[in-house]
């Protein structure tokens, strides 16, 4: 199906482990984003990408790594997970052109770090 998907939907891991969250979109949108959502903070931008091989830090990038070798994929890696990274993670995408401000969000990944 067309759209934006995230995997896994749920993940439990332990402190210190490496975890990779996957994001895939079928629209060939240039821009992709990773947010985390915690109670009382709304959504905070972790990293974003304007195109393949172009990534940049958002508001809360520490402890995360991203890559974008292909336009359709934007994986987010927690190199050494910490309890403070327990959160719901959302991936989003949008095209470069057009006047709309719409970002299209995936269903989210709920990550628990024990």
Partner 1 sequence: GESVGLHLPTLSVQEGDNSIINCAYSNSASDYFIWYKQESGKGPQFIIDIRSNMDKRQGQRVTVLLNKTVKHLSLQIAATQPGDSAVYFCAERTHNDYKLSFGAGTTVTVRA
Smallest gap from Cβ 107 to partner 1, in A, equals 6
Q: What is the Cα–Cα distance from 102 to 31, expressed in whole angstroms?
A: 11
Tell me the sheet residues that pair with 54.
51
45 binds partner 1 (CB under 8 A): yes
Under the criterion CB under 8 A, does residue 78 sit at the interface with partner 1?
no
CB 45 within 8 A of CB 59: yes
DSSP three-state, residue 59: coil
Q: Whose Cβ is closer to partner 1: residue 19's or residue 108's?
A: 108
**Does 108 sit near partner 1 (CB under 8 A)?**
yes
Question: How far is Cα 60 from Cα 7, in angstroms, rounded to an integer?
Answer: 21
Question: Toward partner 1, which CB reaches closer, 16 or 101?
Answer: 101
Note whether 31 binds partner 1 by CB under 8 A: yes
Place of tokens 């959302």: 90
Residues lying near partner 1 in the complex (CB under 8 A): 31, 33, 35, 40-45, 48, 50, 58-59, 90, 92, 94, 100-108
């Amino acid at each position: 199906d067309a759209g934006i998907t995230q995997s896994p939907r749920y993940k439990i891991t332990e402190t210190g482990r490496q975890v990779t969250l996957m994001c895939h979109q079928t629209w060939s949108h240039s821009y992709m984003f990773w947010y985390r959502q915690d109670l009382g903070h709304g959504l905070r931008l972790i990293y974003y990408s304007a195109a393949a091989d172009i990534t940049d830090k958002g508001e809360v990038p520490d402890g995360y790594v991203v890559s974008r070798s292909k336009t359709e994929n934007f994986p987010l890696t927690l190199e050494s997970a910490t309890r403070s990274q327990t959160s719901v993670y959302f991936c989003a995408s949008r095209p470069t052109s057009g006047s709309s401000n719409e970002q299209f969000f995936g269903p989210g990944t709920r990550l628990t770090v024990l």
